[in-house]
Amino acid sequence: MTSFFIILNVIIGATVLILIAKEFIDKDKRETNTRSQNIAYSAVFAALIVLLSTMMRQIAFPPVIPGVLDAAFILLIIVAVASIACGFWVGLATAFTFGLMSFITSFTNPTALAPVFNNPLVSVLPRICMGFTIYFAYRLMNKLLKDKGNKGDKVKSYVRIGVAAGVGALTNTALVLGSMALIYGGRVIGGTALTAEFFTWILTFVGSLEFVATALLTPPIVYAIGRATRRSL
């Protein structure tokens, strides 16, 4: 659990950096535009992904729940925050960085299943898809749960964000496992048999926990960014 709180503190620090970046951007609104804002936000989130990916490999953070939930799920939260708080292109850039770091670290700091993640169809493509599903799931939830100017609006906002973030986590799990099953199903890699039972276990238990954790932890961060930047979420 110590690693969990360390990483959460890093996320909070990154949120502060994002807000500072926005203040610099907004100092001269005559010279700024949406593109420059997206570049600034994307750079901060990408740096955070790179930092945490490196830390997790080099320092070897213990899992949040041994054998079930790895600390790397925090990266899913970062992608969700970027997609919901800063928009489609920032989310897509952050998701791509997540996938790229998964691909790179599978070579530089290999684990038992590293050969699987050497394939960008497993390590990169599913993460990019997260950027799409989170953003459009959030747009759909905005249509289904519209604000009515009462006290229930904050709850609706949390639900909209939580569901979209959870959809992103499920996208990642389902597509990574799906591509693994299609390409490597039935093989034994790094001492792990990639059988139907293996995929069922990961999808059912790990996928469910990642969905719940991402759905619960993403809304407070996104809502804080929204309040600080005066964005309607």
- The larger pLDDT score, comparing residue 209 to residue 18, is at 209
31/131: higher pLDDT: 131
Alpha-carbon span 61 to 72, nearest angstrom? 9
Residues spanned by the domain of 7 = 2-229
How does pLDDT run across 180-193, given as a tens digit for each residue?
A: 999 998 898 888 88
Closest by Cα among 169, 175, 179, 162 to 216: 162
User: For residue 62, what are the contacts with CB-CB under 8 A and spacing of at least 6?
Assistant: 2, 3, 71
- Answer yes or no: pTM beyond 0.75: yes
Exposure of 28 by Cβ count < 10 A (0-12 exposed, 13-18 middle, 19+ buried)? exposed
Read off the CATH number of the domain in which 114 is found.
Answer: 1.10.1760.20
Quote the Cα angle for 37-42-43, to 5°.
100
Q: How confident is the model at residue 129 (pLDDT cuts 50, 70, 90)?
A: very high
pLDDT at 55 over 80: no
Helices (H), 72-206: 74-86, 88-108, 114-117, 120-123, 125-144, 152-184, 196-201
Cβ(131)–Cβ(88) under 8 Å? yes
Q: Which of 64-73, 93-102, 175-184 has the lowest mean pLDDT?
A: 64-73
Question: Chain-wide mean pLDDT for the chain?
Answer: 79
If you average pLDDT over residues 92-117, what whole number do you get?
Answer: 89
DSSP helix, strand, coil percent of the chain (3-state; round to 5): 80, 5, 20
- Total number of domains in the chain: 1
DSSP 29: T
pLDDT in tens, 139-176: 999 888 877 666 667 788 889 999 999 999 999 999 99
